[in-house]
Chain A
């Protein structure tokens, strides 16, 4: 027994004394548990894939090991802040990819800003986040002041639906998107029959949908995420509400169709914060690699993949393990061509590559309809 103890002590001593390679950490924050975990996992896998591919091509920062550290913000703004504080407190973290929800990105971005830590948001689309004027904040997706009007125009011009009922999920993202949508509807002289909020986590929408049915709108627009969206779609079908159903990018998740049942989801429209990557030749390598590793490409995976590649570019360009240098490198990024398009960031940190894709559910699958470029 005593020999074993000595042996163990010896092994511990040996391992602790070996030369330790310095590590550079890239943070990832998103909901990895809770109802939106599927979205979070899509993002995380995209980021992981980008890092693995880059590492296969050679060292990112010579003499350093690059690691992805994922943390769960549970889609809760308070959790997001505590995750942000953990990243900030770790001197090895050079950049953060995240968060998913605008309600999380908003408060967390202030934490990253005070610590001069680069944050690259893949899909948080509320325009207010970049208007805070934090030079640490960048994002690679289009924002809701483009997404809302694009959806409103599509509904009114292409689908001839002018009587619209608006629902949002009372979050930073949902309310923000709904307001942009409502403004566009009024500008185009559409008729907004009502605007109601639903709490996240709620499951019974029959009373609201019955009310909507009695108003007989031509379309229902929902600004929110897929768990509630799926139930709205399902219960709308059960209540035989004939209106067209359209939603924002929060619905862009394969699980939506399964949760809502394919027959109820058929013909639902939604917008995305970028074009259709299936039509981009440069993205096909990503699609094949992702499918080989994880199966069907998650809706948000490409955004996290792109974000990770840009972060790696910034670290490479900085050439040293230093937050300020990484941040400074981002300023030099111009016409970066990725799988979602060519990115140049404006002074607020938003990409100038502003494309809104419009998809519909056909035979239980998301099918690309058209895209709007701003």
Chain B
């Protein structure tokens, strides 16, 4: 392998990882944009996505060799995860955040952290504290592209990331509900005066963000073949970093931030040392925020003082 093959391989690895970060980061950024709340329970929703995917497999009675076309299994996992996570997202909003809508922002933040612990423990008690193995529904298909190795899983990861993000972009820019979301983010009081059902729009934002995390969770589970109840913590923290990197509240920013973080981590861990992989992500964040305090693409939050 020459140096550019290695670099290409690092970039491919980073892109696949970045797609997952981006999918989770979108949820953080959407909720922040609309409520100015850092929803710390979002990482747990992502982890739940992987568990819902696992449940879909278990429901389909899969223990031995998997019958049928793998696409259907993946679709089934996705559907159950999206449904389950959206409902969980809405429930979190309704039970934990809506009653505190008028409370100081700090109380909401603490509630979010509490919610995160509740979800972790619920999963631990229902699925057990062991690592759960997710059977590989997808056959391991490998290609060699320009001297670098690409797996079918990585292609699925990046492609589904792209499709989902494009769909989200079109939804927010081109549909009436999307406009209503933008209006609510800009000024909830004015939006309410214009006849926008603000509460419902906020619930929808949570559902949508959770659905994206669910897609990320299922892909993560399939990619790494195991899931644990505390997997959401570090992934959530990194995705939050990605959201801040791109400019929190900014949807294209989250996509850019996620991809960039994945790439930087891969290249950093590959060329420097894998022991410093996690440190690297946060060093980048600090450096970038010193130079651009509002993130790469800038925050999209209206000052409401």
Interface 9-mer from B27-35, B36-44, B114-122, B267-275: B267-275
A239 to chain B, nearest CB (A): 5
Are A227 and B149 within 8 A (Cβ)?
no
Q: Which of B268-297 contact A (CB under 8 A)?
A: 268-271, 273-275, 277-278
Are B149 and A207 within 8 A (Cβ)?
no
| Also in contact, A240 and B265, with CB within 8 A (given A35-B131, A211-B6) | no
A21 within 8 A of B: no
Cβ-defined partner of B225 (8 Å) among A34, A198, A199, A259:
A259
- Cβ proximity bits B164-175 to A, threshold 8 Å, 1 near / 0 not: 000000000000
Which residue in chain B gives the minimum CB-CB distance to A216? B1
Are B130 and A35 within 8 A (Cβ)?
yes
B186 within 8 A of A: no
B200 within 8 A of A: no
Are A213 and B265 within 8 A (Cβ)?
no
A258 and B133 alpha carbons, distance in the complex (Å): 8
Cβ-defined partner of A261 (8 Å) among B14, B140, B269:
B140
Q: How many residues of chain A get a CB closer than 8 Å to chain B's CBs?
A: 36
Are A210 and B6 within 8 A (Cβ)?
yes
Q: Which residues of chain A are within 8 angstroms of B6 by Cβ–Cβ distance? A: 210-211, 213-214
A211 and B10 alpha carbons, distance in the complex (Å): 9
Are B225 and A240 within 8 A (Cβ)?
no
Are A196 and B273 within 8 A (Cβ)?
yes
B17 within 8 A of A: yes
Q: Which residues of chain B are within 8 angstroms of A258 by Cβ–Cβ distance? A: 133
Are A198 and B270 within 8 A (Cβ)?
no
Are B275 and A197 within 8 A (Cβ)?
yes
B144 within 8 A of A: yes
B129 within 8 A of A: yes
Are A198 and B9 within 8 A (Cβ)?
no
Q: Which of B1-51 contact A (CB under 8 A)?
A: 1, 3, 5-6, 9-10, 13-14, 16-17
A38 within 8 A of B: yes
Are B275 and A214 within 8 A (Cβ)?
no
Are A208 and B269 within 8 A (Cβ)?
yes
A346 to chain B, nearest CB (A): 36
B261 to chain A, nearest CB (A): 12
A259 and B142 alpha carbons, distance in the complex (Å): 18
A237 within 8 A of B: yes
Are A198 and B275 within 8 A (Cβ)?
yes
Cβ-defined partner of B269 (8 Å) among A33, A37, A207:
A207
Are B270 and A207 within 8 A (Cβ)?
yes
B136 within 8 A of A: yes
Cβ-defined partner of B140 (8 Å) among A202, A206, A263:
A263
Are B224 and A207 within 8 A (Cβ)?
no
Are A238 and B129 within 8 A (Cβ)?
no
A234 within 8 A of B: yes
B151 within 8 A of A: yes
A238 and B140 alpha carbons, distance in the complex (Å): 7
Q: Which residues of chain B are within 8 angstroms of A238 by Cβ–Cβ distance? A: 140, 142, 149, 151, 153
Q: Could you tell me the dominant secondary structure of chain A's interface residues? A: helix
Which residue in chain A gives the minimum CB-CB distance to B3? A214
Q: Which residues of chain B are within 8 angstroms of A234 by Cβ–Cβ distance? A: 225
B210 within 8 A of A: no
Q: Which of B56-80 contact A (CB under 8 A)?
A: none
Q: Which residues of chain B are within 8 angstroms of A210 by Cβ–Cβ distance? A: 6, 9-10, 13, 266, 270
A34 and B142 alpha carbons, distance in the complex (Å): 31
| Also in contact, A207 and B140, with CB within 8 A (given A35-B131, A199-B275, A202-B277) | no
Centre residue among B17, B151, B225 by max chain A CB count within 10 A:
B225
B250 within 8 A of A: no
Q: Which residues of chain A are within 8 angstroms of B273 by Cβ–Cβ distance? A: 196
B228 within 8 A of A: yes
Are A231 and B131 within 8 A (Cβ)?
no
A332 within 8 A of B: no
Are A214 and B5 within 8 A (Cβ)?
yes
Which residue in chain A gives the minimum CB-CB distance to B124? A33
B182 within 8 A of A: no
Q: Which residues of chain A are within 8 angstroms of B128 by Cβ–Cβ distance? A: 33
| Also in contact, A261 and B130, with CB within 8 A (given A196-B275, A210-B10) | no
A288 within 8 A of B: no
Are B226 and A259 within 8 A (Cβ)?
yes
Are B131 and A227 within 8 A (Cβ)?
yes
Are B277 and A240 within 8 A (Cβ)?
no
A85 and B3 alpha carbons, distance in the complex (Å): 54
Q: Which residues of chain A are within 8 angstroms of B275 by Cβ–Cβ distance? A: 170, 196-199
Are A213 and B9 within 8 A (Cβ)?
yes
A170 and B276 alpha carbons, distance in the complex (Å): 12
Cβ-defined partner of A35 (8 Å) among B17, B136, B151, B228:
B228
A335 within 8 A of B: no
A313 within 8 A of B: no
- Cβ proximity bits A211-244 to B, threshold 8 Å, 1 near / 0 not: 1011010000000000100110010011110000
Q: Which residues of chain B are within 8 angstroms of A203 by Cβ–Cβ distance? A: 224, 226, 231
| Also in contact, A213 and B1, with CB within 8 A (given A231-B224, A240-B144) | yes
| Also in contact, A34 and B277, with CB within 8 A (given A208-B269, A211-B6, A259-B225) | no
Q: Which residues of chain A are within 8 angstroms of B228 by Cβ–Cβ distance? A: 34-35
Q: Which of B134-153 contact A (CB under 8 A)?
A: 136, 140, 142, 144, 149, 151, 153
Q: Which residues of chain A are within 8 angstroms of B266 by Cβ–Cβ distance? A: 206-207, 210
A132 to chain B, nearest CB (A): 27
A154 within 8 A of B: no
Which residue in chain A gives the minimum CB-CB distance to B228? A35
Q: Which of A184-198 contact B (CB under 8 A)?
A: 196-198
What 3 pairs across the A-B complex have the smallest Cβ distances? A33-B129, A207-B269, A206-B13
Other 16 A-B pairs with CB < 8 A, given A170-B275, A198-B274, A205-B274 = A33-B130, A38-B130, A197-B274, A197-B275, A199-B278, A204-B224, A206-B13, A207-B270, A210-B9, A210-B13, A211-B6, A231-B226, A239-B149, A240-B142, A263-B140, A264-B140
Q: Would you give 20 A-B contacts (Cβ < 8 Å), ordered by A?
A: A33-B129, A34-B228, A196-B274, A199-B277, A199-B278, A203-B231, A204-B13, A206-B13, A207-B14, A207-B267, A208-B274, A210-B266, A211-B6, A213-B6, A214-B1, A227-B131, A238-B142, A240-B144, A261-B140, A263-B140
